[in-house]
Amino acid sequence: MKVLITGGAGYIGSTTAKALEEAGHTPVILDSLLSGPRAFVKNRIFYEGDIADRALLTRVIDEHPDIDCTIHMAARIVVPESVEQPYSYYRDNVAKSLELFDQLVILGKPRVLFSSSASLYATVENFEVDESSPLDPSSPYARTKLVMEMALRDMAASTDLRAIILRYFNPIGSDPNLESGVYAREPSHVLGQLVMAAQGLKDSFTITGTDHPTRDGTGIRDYIHVWDLARSHVVAVEKFDTALEEVGETSTVINVGTGDGVTVRELVETFQRVYDAPVPVTEAAPRPGDAVGAFANVDKARDVLGWTSSLTTEDAISSALGWFRKRKQILGYD
């Protein structure tokens, strides 16, 4: 199969491109390089440009009429920035995506796999959420994802568009060959912060929020190895039509996580075990908007896609450590 990946120069997109290649498929990348590095599209079919550029999309499809499915990952993704710049987030994530979807339908390419997020979920009592759990997106970023989910559902109800919406939990790690991974110079997410503290690039790792109603007071997440996440896309594109037939819908939402909740303290302990050295840790109050968290009920992914995660948190941590040791070779910076 040939698969268009918007945002394919990004962290998850480049890893997914590799997983598709390993499964014998051909990714075609459309990315503006707004944030993704050029190094991640080397040796791939690549179009540099914007998802809302209808003429460019038409050229991509003219040149690759055998594209079967589009994985729409292109987005702005930085939560605090979305609070400061809501216009840019709604313009890029919502308005531009609408142009993309409409043009895909016009071009006769109706299958869309959409990257949504677990940050849509409201906090529930035991922290386990399934696809029908209540939603309460707490940032402009998360709200753009909810708006897109609604737009996809409405468009799939009245046009040829068909959508599988994957709600990702918390991807960490790299691909098995350490060719792509987190590329931010100063990663803000928890594992990147741990790696920096371990390597002495920060004085300590700060646990923000220790009074949450979880088993040890710290936030809970479902950390999924990015390679498992990437492989869920391979299955979803391969089974796209049969999955929608099985659920009897024109669009559907599927959680992609491991099904296990891990607290920040537990993640720190696992990290120290894998790294085989202590990491200095301090504690602080939660940051504004910090969510207690959630982990995925993954029954639907198993039943509809036949997909479950197979790699452990330890695997993901050693993969992330390997990537951070190697990434200068690929990115040109530490």
Instruction: Based on the shown chain and the rule CB under 6 A, indicate whether residue 96 belongs to the binding site for ligand NAD.
Output: yes
Between 103 and 117, whose beta carbon lies closer to ligand NAD? 117
Among 5, 60, 61, 77, binds ligand NAD (CB under 6 A): 77
- 12 scored as a contact of ligand NAD (CB under 6 A): yes
Single out the residue of 256, 254, 260 nearest to residue 293, CA to CA: 260
Q: Which of 3, 11, 173, 190 binds ligand NAD (CB under 6 A)?
A: 11
The piece of 25-33, 79-87, 122-130, 231-239 that touches ligand NAD (CB under 6 A) is: 25-33
Binding mask 40-59 for ligand NAD (x = CB under 6 A): ----------xx--------
- For the bound state, the minimum distance from the C-beta of residue 76 to ligand NAD, rounded and expressed in Å, comes to 6
- Look up residue 227 and give its two tokens: 């390679």
Taking the CA atoms of residue 243, residue 244, residue 246 and residue 249 in that order, the dihedral angle to the nearest 10 degrees is 160
Nearest residue to ligand NAD, scored by beta-carbon proximity: 10
**What DSSP element (H or E) covers 220?**
strand 220-221
The rounded distance, in Å, linking the Cα atoms of 184 and 269 is: 24
Q: State which residue, 77 or 268, has the beta carbon closest to ligand NAD.
A: 77
Residue 35 interacting with ligand NAD (CB under 6 A): yes
Shortest distance, CB of residue 195 to ligand NAD, whole angstroms? Answer: 15
Site membership for ligand NAD, residue 7 (CB under 6 A): yes
Residue 9 lies near ligand NAD (rule: CB under 6 A): yes
**Contact call for residue 274 and ligand NAD (CB under 6 A):** no
In DSSP terms, 255 is beta-bridged to 167
Nearer to ligand NAD, 93 or 252 (CB): 93
Place of tokens 């035991």: 126
- Please tell me whether residue 117 binds ligand NAD under the rule CB under 6 A: yes
Q: How far is the CB of 209 from ligand NAD (least distance, A)?
A: 18
Q: Does the active-site annotation cover 275?
A: no
Q: Please name the amino acid found at residue 57.
A: L
Nearer to ligand NAD among residue 163 and residue 273 (C-beta): 163
CA angle at 112 for the pair 106 and 116, rounded to the nearest 5° = 135
164 to 203, contacts with ligand NAD by CB under 6 A?
168, 170-171
Total count of residues recorded for the chain: 334
Q: Least separation, in Å, of the C-beta of 246 and ligand NAD?
A: 24
Q: How far is the CB of 110 from ligand NAD (least distance, A)?
A: 20
CA of 95: how far to CAs of 17, 76, 145, in Å? 25, 12, 12
Phi then psi dihedrals of residue 287, to 5 deg? -80, 155
Pairing of strands 220-221, 262-263: antiparallel
CB-based contacts of 51-54 (< 8 A; 24+ apart in sequence): 51/6, 51/96, 51/97, 51/99, 51/100, 52/95, 52/96, 52/99, 52/100, 54/99, 54/103
Q: Which of 11, 47, 121, 141 is catalytic?
A: 141
SS3 (DSSP) at 119? helix
Tell me how far apart the alpha carbons of residues 214 and 223 are, in angstroms, rounded to a whole number: 16
State how far Cα 64 lies from the chain centre: 25
Cβ 44 to ligand NAD shortest distance, Å: 13
The C-alpha atoms of residue 199 and residue 203 are separated, in whole angstroms, by 9
The reply on whether position 75 binds ligand NAD by CB under 6 A is yes
Residues in the site for ligand NAD, rule: CB under 6 A? 6-7, 9-13, 31-36, 50-51, 73-75, 77, 92, 96, 115, 117, 168, 170-171
Catalytic residues: 141
